[in-house]
Structure 1
Amino acid sequence: MKKTRIAAGFTLIELLVVLAIIATLMSIAAPRYFEHLDRSREASLRQTLSVVRDAIDRYHADIGKWPPDLDTLVTKRYLRKLPVDPITERSDSWQLVAAPGEEEAGVWDLHSGAEGTAKDGTHFAEW
């Protein structure tokens, strides 16, 4: 009796077809993924700006003057920690705006220090 040997595994053609299918799916999914990341960073930046501006306003309402810096908001417990700009991923890139027309100008507002524009065409530094 002859024993026949059964070949196990995949042929080169089968592997190439599978790789081509995976590459096609990745070329469709990757741009959507990166666009979603950009939109989520923008939404996070808007939320962070809103929270910090609210903390600045609460500090001013309680103390009667604007905070000298963002660290004061943390030490006085208006913020838990120094906010991180989601676009630049740094906490020291904020552009602080001084209170207009006051002798002891403190932090009245802040803007992102990120360069570039958002999906809606506005500059991050204008937010």
Structure 2
Amino acid sequence: MPSGRKYLHAGFTLMELMVVMAIIASLMTLALPRYFNSVERSREAVLRHDLAAMRDAIDKFLADRGRYPATLDELAEKRYLRKLPVDPITDSATTWVAVPPPPADGRDGVYDVRSGAAGTSLDGEAYESW
């Protein structure tokens, strides 16, 4: 190697790194709100599906046995559901709210099921009204 040659050091300057970080930060401010919004929408879609599946299981239980299930757990015990689903909003299977049948029906048990989650959906509806 000749000693008279200068070697150039390859690399990025601080200014170049700052510009790249500013561009990444700008892109993140656009992408993150959409990401969290889509996560919330997917939880709400799972909640709607779980409610529909449990209501369908209650209807099938009534058609087969002539009565409403005494508890939501009975749906899983009698194999109308594999297991009681987890509420995706509360992350718990114990927060479901069992709705009794109307008094005019003259029966006991679980007539309907609702989410026990507090708060409202992205559409403005309360989760407990679904």
How far apart are residue 65 of structure 1 and its match? 0.6
Report which of the two structures shows the higher radius of gyration computed on alpha carbons: 2
Q: Please give the residue correspondences for 1:106-125 in structure 2 after superposition, counting only pairs within 5 Å.
A: 106-125=109-128
TM-score (norm 1): 0.94
Q: 1:32 aligns with which of 14, 31, 34?
A: 34
Instruction: Give the number of equivalent residue pairs.
Output: 127
Q: Which residue number in structure 2 is paired with residue 60 of structure 1? A: 62
Corresponding residue to 1:44 among 43, 46, 66: 46
Deviations 1:34-64 (A, max 9, x none): 1111111111111110000000000010011
Q: Which runs of 4+ in 1 moved over 4 A?
A: none
Q: Distance in 2 between matches of 1:104 and 1:52?
A: 19
Superposition TM-score, scaled by structure 2 size: 0.92
In the TM superposition, what is the alpha-carbon distance from 1:71 to its structure 2 partner? 1.1
RMSD value, Cα: 1.2
Partner of 1:15: 17
What amino acid maps onto 1:82 in structure 2? Answer: L
Structure 2 regions of 5+ residues with no counterpart? Answer: none
Percent of paired sites with the same residue? 53
